[in-house]
């Protein structure tokens, strides 16, 4: 585990260790007594990955207990929804669980901290978890965190800055100023990009480049091309600077292909065809004509 990962795990364990324990060890809890809390940090579950985990559960069982708290009529899940889903798919009747007495105020904090320990955390889930933790620490609604961060960048209050520094140091996710400048803006991305990010199909860097294409139709066109052709940030940025024209992009790609050595490596038939196409293109664009 990395140093940052250990810091997040220590923060989670520290908070968890300070909560009242209802049992000394993990216990088997019937699945039909567990309900999932609305607003869980993880919203997207890859079907293939979930199927793989389900098969692992069938063969080896649940290796890490889920975290629950007792509520009226049963238990509420705090952390481990993916394991809970796999257990249900695998046909289990119960699941090993650690049960803690957790206040309503601490539930989002524990869920977010546990979520940040995941290896497959996508950028959008990461941002939302960090916002939840920061809101908890500063005792403000989550919707007010980003405006507050920008306000502190403009006119810092020493006490607030110290609390923000402490939160981000504990999370091991860089500084709050960097987060405000570079990451928090992801929440303003178009919904179609957010959906792709949440599902793991599009990483932050390419999504950010696509978000700068303001024309919806062009952005969606380039989004599909980015996914199908594996276009990188450089190509997407070039499209944004040129107004996103597909024709402009194709022109650029053809220019890169127009290499004498590449053409010389073709067969005679292909070379003849390239020559004819070049002649047609030259005529169409009104270029100089051969007079020989």
Q: With contact defined as beta carbons under 8 Å apart, do 132 and 108 qualify?
A: yes
Tokens 């049992």 found at: 23
What is the rounded average pLDDT for all residues in the chain? 80
- The partner residues of 69 in beta bridges, in order of sequence, read 76
Q: How far is CA 138 from CA 153, 160, 167, in A?
A: 16, 8, 10
pLDDT (mean) for 73-79: 90
pLDDT (mean) for 145-152: 93
Chain segment 65-74, per-residue pLDDT in tens: 988 999 998 9
Q: Would you state the pLDDT for residue 170? A: 77
Segments in 139-172 forming alpha helices (H): 145-154, 158-171
Tokens 């509520």 found at: 71
Residue 33 above 90 pLDDT? yes
3-state secondary structure of 77: strand
Segments in the chain forming alpha helices (H): 3-17, 47-60, 81-89, 106-116, 123-138, 145-154, 158-171, 176-178, 191-198, 204-211, 216-229, 233-241, 246-257, 260-264, 268-284
Q: With contact defined as beta carbons under 8 Å apart, do 112 and 41 qualify?
A: yes
pLDDT (mean) for 139-154: 92
Rounded to the nearest 5°, which phi and psi values hold at 70? -75, 135
Residue 43 above 90 pLDDT? no
Q: Would you state the pLDDT for residue 25? A: 53
Q: pTM here?
A: 0.56
pLDDT bin (cut points 50, 70, 90) of residue 94 is very high
Q: Would you state the pLDDT for residue 12? A: 42
Chain segment 210-263, per-residue pLDDT in tens: 998 888 888 888 999 899 888 888 888 887 676 545 545 566 667 767 777 788
3-state secondary structure of 73: coil
Q: Would you tell me the crossing angle of helices 233-241 and 246-257 to the nearest 10 degrees?
A: 120
- The partner residues of 75 in beta bridges, in order of sequence, read 34, 70
3-state secondary structure of 78: strand
Q: Would you tell me the crossing angle of helices 158-171 and 145-154 to the nearest 10 degrees?
A: 120
- The partner residues of 74 in beta bridges, in order of sequence, read 71
Q: Would you state the pLDDT for residue 271? A: 85
Chain segment 167-205, per-residue pLDDT in tens: 888 777 789 999 998 888 888 899 999 988 888 788 888
CA dihedral 98, 102, 107, 112 (to 10 degrees): -50
3-state secondary structure of 28: strand
Query: CB under 8 Å to 9, separation ≥6 — which residues?
Result: 1, 117
Residue 24 above 50 pLDDT? no
pLDDT (mean) for 99-113: 80
Rounded to the nearest 5°, which phi and psi values hold at 287? -80, 180
pLDDT bin (cut points 50, 70, 90) of residue 14 is very low
């Amino acid at each position: 585990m990395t140093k940052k990962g250990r810091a997040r795990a220590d923060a989670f364990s520290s908070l968890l260790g300070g909560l009242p324990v209802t049992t000394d060890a993990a216990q088997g809890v019937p699945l039909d007594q567990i309900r999932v809390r609305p607003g869980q940090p993880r919203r997207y579950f890859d079907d293939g990955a979930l199927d793989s985990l389900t098969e692992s559960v069938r063969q080896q069982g649940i290796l890490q207990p889920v975290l629950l708290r007792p509520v009226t009529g049963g238990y509420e899940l705090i952390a481990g929804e993916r394991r809970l889903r796999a257990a249900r798919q695998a046909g289990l009747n119960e699941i090993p669980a650690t049960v803690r007495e957790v206040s309503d105020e601490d539930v989002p904090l524990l869920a977010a901290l546990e979520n940040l320990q995941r290896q497959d955390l996508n950028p959008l889930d990461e941002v939302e978890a960090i916002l939840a933790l920061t809101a908890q620490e500063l005792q403000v609604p989550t919707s007010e965190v980003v405006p507050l961060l920008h306000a502190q960048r403009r006119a810092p209050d020493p006490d607030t800055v110290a609390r923000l520094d402490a939160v981000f140091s504990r999370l091991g996710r860089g500084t709050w100023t960097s987060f405000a400048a570079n990451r928090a803006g992801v929440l303003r991305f178009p919904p179609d990009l957010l959906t792709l990010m949440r599902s793991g199909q599009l990483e932050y860097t390419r999504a950010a480049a696509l978000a700068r294409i303001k024309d919806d139709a062009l952005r969606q066109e380039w989004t599909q091309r980015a996914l199908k052709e594996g276009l990188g940030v450089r190509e997407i940025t070039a499209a944004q600077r040129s107004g996103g024209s597909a024709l402009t992009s194709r022109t650029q790609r053809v220019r890169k292909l127009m290499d004498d050595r590449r053409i010389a490596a073709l067969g005679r038939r292909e070379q003849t065809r390239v020559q004819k196409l070049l002649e047609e293109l030259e005529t169409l664009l009104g270029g100089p004509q051969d007079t020989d």
